[in-house]
Amino acid sequence: SKSTIPQTIIFFMPDQTPVILLAFANDRQGSFLRNISLEQQAITDALGPAETNGWVKVKVLPAASIQRIIDAFMEYKDRIVLFHYGGHADGESLLLSSGENAATMDADSFADFLATQKAMKLVFLNACDTYDQAKALQQAGVEQVIVTDRAIEDEAAKDFARYFYAGLAQKKTVDASFQQADTIVKLGKGGA
């Protein structure tokens, strides 16, 4: 008897929609960021039209840990085009959640990890004093990086992120979205 083997195998192509990964962490025991949940909501609201239209998928990690960030990158392999972090940081690390405690993620190691992500275009570190992380991120191949070179007021960080992502959702360039957010925040702060 002769057996027949199917000549075609159907492979289902996964969704290829670009992904924006939003990671937030708060210090529950030290310097609590009272607007971090408002920042998260403002960004997801701003990106809502882009997601509804199928331009992007937004993945939110409200209590980001190192493991949850890695898991998201594994889940959306080579589809994450933008990584946003909101929380505490410095020039060498990001402060993340780890149960009831905080854990730090080394900036250089994270930049090395991002170098393996083929779709990564922009990293936005919406935290104080992250300027020193920009060089490692750019050496890792991240095309554009948004960081701060000083402490930033919680409210200003939230507003800047909101207007920046509203610009992206309107299909403005990163530069135009940045200028929009900068101008609006300065307007609200009397030019500061």
Distance of alpha carbon 18 from alpha carbon 80, whole angstroms: 6
The answer to whether residue 82 scores a pLDDT higher than 90 is yes
The answer to whether residue 175 scores a pLDDT higher than 80 is yes
User: How far is C-alpha 120 from the chain's CA centre?
Assistant: 10
| Tens of pLDDT, residues 25-76 | 876 555 556 678 889 999 999 999 999 999 999 999 998 999 999 999 999 9
Exposure b/e, 166-184, CB count within 10 A at least 16 = b:
bbbbeeeebeebbebbeeb
| pLDDT at residue 11, as a whole number | 47
The answer to whether residue 184 scores a pLDDT higher than 80 is yes
Q: Kindly provide the residue ranges of all beta strands, DSSP E only, lying in 56-137, ordered along the sequence.
A: 57-61, 80-86, 93-98, 101-106, 122-126
The answer to whether residue 134 scores a pLDDT higher than 50 is yes
Give the DSSP per-residue string, 15-30.
P---EEEEEE---SSS
The answer to whether residue 185 scores a pLDDT higher than 50 is yes
CB atoms within 10 A of CB 77: 13
Contact at 8 Å (CB) between 110 and 94? yes
Q: Tell me which H or E stretch contains 38.
A: helix 36-52
The answer to whether residue 174 scores a pLDDT higher than 70 is yes
Q: How far apart are the first and last CA of the chain?
A: 84
> pLDDT confidence of 97, banded at 50, 70, 90?
confident
